[in-house]
Amino acid sequence: MVSTRDLYAEDRNVYAYRCPKCGVLYHPAPMVCKGCRNRRDPSEAVFPDFEKVPMGGPCRLLSWTRIYALPEGIDRPSIAFGIVEFDNGLRAAGQLMVADPQSGARLIAKSGLVRELVGRDFYGLQLFEA
């Protein structure tokens, strides 16, 4: 079974997953389509896998925070997080790279290095001013 942990993947992209049967997009990857119950198979041994669709581009900031007690692997005095909605309705969390964020603002999401732990880099969505 292939890991679903695409943040560790060498291509460093963040993906949404499209059900090959009904076309619904998910992030993160489920193991079954909520609507049509089509099974996802990362190994493609039994069923075709869901289509991996790189995430990024224009989005809208729904809410955000900035925290000052940081977890391991983030070497900054503070870090901001936001939840965004893309134009196709898909939602995601990401690191907010905006000095003065405002809920409702238009942003651009890109994949980038979000966290460094010993022996492992994490890539995820970073949210920039549009």
Is residue 92 part of the contact set for another protein (CB under 8 A)? yes
Cα–Cα dist 21/41, whole Å: 13
Identified binder of another protein from the candidate list 11, 73, 128, 130, rule CB under 8 A: 73
Closest approach, Cβ 125 to another protein, in A, equals 8
Is residue 6 part of the contact set for another protein (CB under 8 A)? yes
Contact pattern from residue 14 through residue 33 relative to another protein, giving x for each residue in contact according to CB under 8 A and a dash for the rest? -------------xx-----
| 42 Rama sector, left if φ>0, alpha if ψ -120 to 50, beta otherwise | alpha
Cα–Cα dist 114/125, whole Å: 8
| Cα distance from N-terminal residue to C-terminal residue, the chain | 38
Identified binder of another protein from the candidate list 24, 83, 97, 98, rule CB under 8 A: 83
Is residue 35 part of the contact set for another protein (CB under 8 A)? no
Is residue 65 part of the contact set for another protein (CB under 8 A)? yes
Is residue 47 part of the contact set for another protein (CB under 8 A)? no
Closest approach, Cβ 53 to another protein, in A, equals 15
Give, for 80, the enclosing helix (H) or strand (E): strand 79-86
Taken in order 42, 47, 48, 50, the sign of the CA dihedral is: negative
Cβ neighbors of 18 (< 8 A, separation 6 or more) are 24, 25, 26, 50, 51, 53
Contacts with another protein by CB under 8 A lie at 4-7, 27-28, 62-74, 79-83, 91-95, 103, 114-115, 122, 124-125
